[in-house]
Structure 1
Amino acid sequence: MTDFHQDGRAGIDADLVRRLLADQFPQWADLPVTPVKIDGWDNRTYRLGSELTARLPTAEGYTAAVDKEHEWLPVLAPALPVQIPEAVAKGEPGQGYPFHWAIRRWIDGDTASRDTVSDLTGFARSIAEFIVALLSCDASGGPVAGAHSFYRGAPPEYYHDETVEALAVLKGKIDTDLAREVWEAALASTWDRPPVWFHGDIASGNLLVQDGRLSAVIDFGTSGVGDPACDLVIAYTFFEGSSREAFRSAVAQDDGTWARARGWALWKALITLAADRDVDINRQVIDEVLADHMATRTP
């Protein structure tokens, strides 16, 4: 069995998708198969004609999302204010490809960015509206946070060792004492209410816009039920100033949840910066998180 993730996603290409369609979904075998312009790491996505997409996990760790999304996307969709992926069919391993895979309905839209979003403050409110609607969905029987969600929705303590190691690597490069204080504040807080739905990766790459406004939220692979703090991270990675305050006000979460949100944002920025990747972006996120934490300190 090929490890597609370790082998740089080798073997996943348009020809494989054509062969899988011919074997398993002959009704779509004649559709043109083209890679999408902006693709992720966890999955490779191909457009099938004008109406469908094929989404293939790149490693075994990402395959749990196929069944989860196939079951729960139809349940969540009616309660959410914007479009989310529509599960059309679920594929089986075949043609040398070892994992289950998904066919979804194509969603039009541009990936969210400072260039494609016309009103950042309005956009922040729209994201908050989506999160609040998701929180209100019935979580009964939903997938409890764990390995399938890469522990989004669980306490951030799962990533404590990684965070401590990153802080050691970055000593002298950032204010590691203050960063450690932020992390300890995140660990000291807990979600003490019933579990709720979370998306797990509300980031610009998973947000689509049309005419400058939020039109869809995609990629529910890390979704589940648990603590929603991880869904607030976009406050530090995409918003700032008035747009962050609009988001904070509209999403209406308590101080403890924001402490854990800062922990989630800090963890990811620390480990990425420690690996010397996306240096400027992650330094900025760390600075924003530390400044926001400082603002919460009592005189």
Structure 2
Amino acid sequence: MENSKIWDADWEVSEELASQLIYSQFPQLASKRIQRLGHGWDNTVYVVGDEFVFRFPRRKIAVNLLEMEGRILPELADRIAIPYSKPLFFGKETGDYPSPFLGYTYLAGEFPIGLTDDQRLLSVSVLAHFLKSLHVFPLQIAREQGVPHDHRNLTDISSRKEKMLNFLSDLRQHLQEEEYCLIEVYLQHLTLDHVNPKDVFLHGDLHFKNMLVDETGKISGIIDWGDMNIGHPACDLNLVYSFLPPDARSTFFKEYGEVDEETKILARFIAVYIPMLILLQAASDKDEKIVEEAKANIKRALTD
């Protein structure tokens, strides 16, 4: 039977299986406790002690992405200042689990859920300098390490808009009328069908579930780099709309560098698209905390 939802797993990794794989391949970790942290679309995540986090692909499509992470993430160490999970343990597939897996340095922090605008303002400069540094990473190195080129065709607004209208129909029962109308009106009035391509190195999946903040609410780390690709900077710049308050956007672009109007339109568009996907899964999982944060991201993105 085929998966009924695009985030459904091809295989699951129980705590027992994770422990078996980690302890057998990395016996130096045998004294450390293993706890399930959660899962996203592509990976199931376990914390090992207080020092490491292991990611196990749960979908076949995620295997090549994880292997790419293992090759490219070490290249970023001297190029970006923001903490990120560095791969240290390279696990191999076994008869019990048909995929490689990776262990990384553990980054302390929480997802940026329910932050105030004042807390979000603490991260304006951090995010601007992080993305400015990331987006000048040499494309030749990225290509040599197998980083794909815009594999999701994000510059095609027209086809993604059609998908979003379908998502909106699926989400209707989970949205208040005001929330539904806000998204519907935005999509109906969006007339740009396509933007001119631009090529920079991208994280590729920046949203609140791939970011960590400290106790003050300031960004303290970026995680889950499996969607790294070469493509339009608007893909990562969606955070300017989904994460930052509207009055912080001009400050961000002064530090990051000014961008053209097409880039801003696409960035806002993706800032609505990604939370809609998160909302679909969270509603299916009955995770009300994530549902409400995804809604808040969309509302923020559509506020000028």
Normalising by structure 1, what TM-score? 0.78
Paired residue for 1:267?
A: 273
Paired residue for 1:62?
A: 62
Aligned length, in residue pairs: 282
Q: In structure 2, how many angstroms separate the alpha carbons of the residues matched to 1:198 and 1:159?
A: 19
Q: In structure 1, how many angstroms separate the alpha carbons of the residues matched to 2:89 and 2:119?
A: 36
1:188 alignment partner, SS class: coil
Paired residue for 2:196?
A: 190
Q: In structure 2, how many angstroms separate the alpha carbons of the residues matched to 1:103 and 1:33?
A: 12
Paired residue for 1:105?
A: 105
Which of 151, 161, 174 is the matching residue for 2:181? 174
Q: Over residues 214-265 of structure 1, what are the superposed CA-to-partner deviations in whole Å (9 max), with x where a residue is unaligned?
A: 2221111111211111112223322223233333433332211111112212
Q: Do the aligned partners of residues 14 and 115 (structure 1) sit closer, same or farther apart at CA in structure 2, a change above 3 Å counting?
A: same
Offset at residue 83 of structure 1 (A): 1.1
Paired residue for 1:232?
A: 237
Report whether the alignment pairs 1:29 with 2:30: yes
Q: In structure 2, how many angstroms separate the alpha carbons of the residues matched to 1:157 and 1:76?
A: 34
Q: Do the aligned partners of residues 275 and 30 (structure 1) sit closer, same or farther apart at CA in structure 2, a change above 3 Å counting?
A: closer
Q: 5+ unaligned residues in a row in structure 2: which ranges? A: 284-289
Q: Over residues 263-284 of structure 1, what are the superposed CA-to-partner deviations in whole Å (9 max), with x where a residue is unaligned?
A: 2123345567789947766665
For the Cα contact (< 8 Å) 1:162–1:271, is it kept in 2? no
For the Cα contact (< 8 Å) 1:152–1:222, is it kept in 2? no
Q: In structure 1, how many angstroms separate the alpha carbons of the residues matched to 2:261 and 2:40?
A: 32
Q: Over residues 45-99 of structure 1, what are the superposed CA-to-partner deviations in whole Å (9 max), with x where a residue is unaligned?
A: 1112232221111111222221111011110121101111111122122252222
Paired residue for 1:50?
A: 50
Which of 214, 220, 224 is the matching residue for 1:210? 214
Offset at residue 291 of structure 1 (A): 4.9
Q: Percent identity?
A: 22
Paired residue for 1:247?
A: 252
Matches within 5 A, 1:59-98: 59-98=59-98
For the Cα contact (< 8 Å) 1:12–1:44, is it kept in 2? yes
Q: In structure 2, how many angstroms separate the alpha carbons of the residues matched to 1:170 and 1:112?
A: 23
Q: Over residues 181-220 of structure 1, what are the superposed CA-to-partner deviations in whole Å (9 max), with x where a residue is unaligned?
A: 32x32x33213x4x21111222222222335232221111
Please tell me the root mean square deviation across aligned C-alpha atoms, in Å.
3.4
